[in-house]
Structure 1
Amino acid sequence: MRNPIKPFTEYQGLPVLTPRYGESYPYYVNYLDRNREVLSRMLERHSQVLFFRMDLRFPDRILWYDEKELFFRFLDQYRKLLVSLGLDPQYIVRMEQKTGLYCHFHMAFLLNGNKASHAYYYKQEADRLWQKILNEPQVGLVDFCNQDWQGEPYPEGIRIVRPPQYSGVPVEAMSKYQEAFRIMSYLAKYDEADQTPDHERKIFYSLCNR
């Protein structure tokens, strides 16, 4: 299998999301590796990294024919906005479709934390841009992902600070790195309820050297 699926309660010493303590979700191994690579590369480039999650969806009351085209228009414009602010944005996107008529998009963003302010501001900008692209002035189409499926609070964003080289502490040992990786693992999780066709690409990564 090109992208093996295996159950994990942790991955190479890093935490992943689990349904309950001691139980496991199945994950795409290659995607966990890519998540780790993106996170670690950003912390090589910047001494601080701001991480946050959000989801985009379409309103069901309107008939949409071009979901992917609209989403990638959003992603291109949003990335350009963040680049213009000097934030070196990197992202992971997971396209998913379950019971609704349309697919939705789970996203994780990593920004240069030396220049980035609070994550809530960038989520608000995403919400405004998505409404503009859809020409749909409806709040709630961007989920800020500040709580889990049980209603427990998630951090609005996580600021990861790279330890000084003389400390000898590896960045992956930092609690903020581990928490960001744990939340990112959702985008690598295998979900048999996902109705996205097998021939469709489900996960998209930015190019870290762009």
Structure 2
Amino acid sequence: MNKTDKNRTKLFDKKFNELFENKMTNNRRVLPVRMDLRFPKEYDHDGLNKEISKFHKTLQQSYRDQGIDVGYHTVREQRTSPNPHYHSMLFFNGDKVRNPYGVKKRCGEIWNSIVGYEGEGLVHHCTHKPEHPIPALEMVHRPARKATGEERKRQKEKFEKSCEIVRKHAEYLNKSYSKGTAPKRVREVFTSQVRISFREPQNYPE
């Protein structure tokens, strides 16, 4: 990995960590959802990112109408394909959104509408099987303040495990492979705005 790749990965990691820590500070439970978005084979892509920008905006607005904030961390990759593709991780308040399948269905509908495609296959839902080296994402639940003794220990261990799984997925998103190919001044990372928290800071595993 050269210096440019290292700096890029470091920047992507920083953006992701700020977002994830903010979501965990502001929510008792956080639902992370992973997906990959691709273009149809014959899609005439202009090299920019207007489609993914519209996807983020439309998705956020669709949930904002329900009083739900959507956090996202999305990276652009392209190697030999004529069109780029995107890896994305979304974050929801786990007390308001508990099932990822409704999220994935909505994302598929929005993306298909943007790229003018009818059918399935453009949005891959990353629900990893047990044999996959990176475990499937799960609800991240902060330990209850009232929990004590063995129950608090159990909740803390589960919380740390869930956080570690999220970070492993982030490592995959932020890897240097297939990056650095976008046209000059075209972004390869998109991270939603970090909202100011009014909660007391929490201590989370590194």
TM-score, normalised by the number of residues in structure 1: 0.77
- Please name the residue that 1:182 is paired with: 168
For 1:192 and 1:66, locate their aligned partners in 2 and report how far apart those are by CA, in whole Å.
15
Structure with the bigger percentage of strand: 1
Aligned alpha-carbon RMSD (Å): 3.0
- Going from structure 1 to structure 2, the CA distance change for 1:100 and 1:119 (only over 3 Å counts) comes to same
- Maintained 8 Å contact 1:67/1:102: no
- Please name the residue that 1:207 is paired with: 193
- Please name the residue that 1:69 is paired with: 50
Q: CA deviation at 1:95?
A: 1.0
Q: CA deviation at 1:87?
A: 2.5
- Maintained 8 Å contact 2:18/2:194: no
- Going from structure 1 to structure 2, the CA distance change for 1:57 and 1:37 (only over 3 Å counts) comes to same
For 2:134 and 2:5, locate their aligned partners in 1 and report how far apart those are by CA, in whole Å.
31
Give the 3-state SS of the residue equivalent to 1:92 in structure 2. Answer: strand
- Maintained 8 Å contact 2:73/2:88: yes
For 1:67 and 1:199, locate their aligned partners in 2 and report how far apart those are by CA, in whole Å.
10
- Going from structure 1 to structure 2, the CA distance change for 1:177 and 1:143 (only over 3 Å counts) comes to same
* 1:162 maps to amino acid: R
* 1:38 maps to amino acid: L
Unmatched tracts of structure 1, length 5 or more: 7-26
For 1:81 and 1:140, locate their aligned partners in 2 and report how far apart those are by CA, in whole Å.
22
Give the 3-state SS of the residue equivalent to 2:33 in structure 1. Answer: strand
Structure with the bigger percentage of helix: 2
For 2:26 and 2:157, locate their aligned partners in 1 and report how far apart those are by CA, in whole Å.
13
- Maintained 8 Å contact 1:57/1:105: yes
Give the 3-state SS of the residue equivalent to 1:5 in structure 2. Answer: helix
Q: CA deviation at 1:172?
A: 10
For 1:34 and 1:165, locate their aligned partners in 2 and report how far apart those are by CA, in whole Å.
28
* 2:55 maps to amino acid: F
1:57 to 35, 38, 51: 38
Percent identity reads: 21
Give the 3-state SS of the residue equivalent to 1:74 in structure 2. Answer: helix
* 1:186 maps to amino acid: Y
**Residues 144-191 of structure 1: per-residue CA shift (max 9 Å, x gap):** 11238x866852x42000113465877996111111111122222111
Q: How does 1:96-107 map to 2 (within 5 A)?
A: 96-107=77-88
Give the 3-state SS of the residue equivalent to 1:53 in structure 2. Answer: strand
For 1:43 and 1:193, locate their aligned partners in 2 and report how far apart those are by CA, in whole Å.
28
2:141 to 161, 180, 185: 161
Unmatched tracts of structure 2, length 5 or more: 197-206
- Maintained 8 Å contact 2:5/2:176: no
Q: CA deviation at 1:128?
A: 1.0
* 1:209 maps to amino acid: R
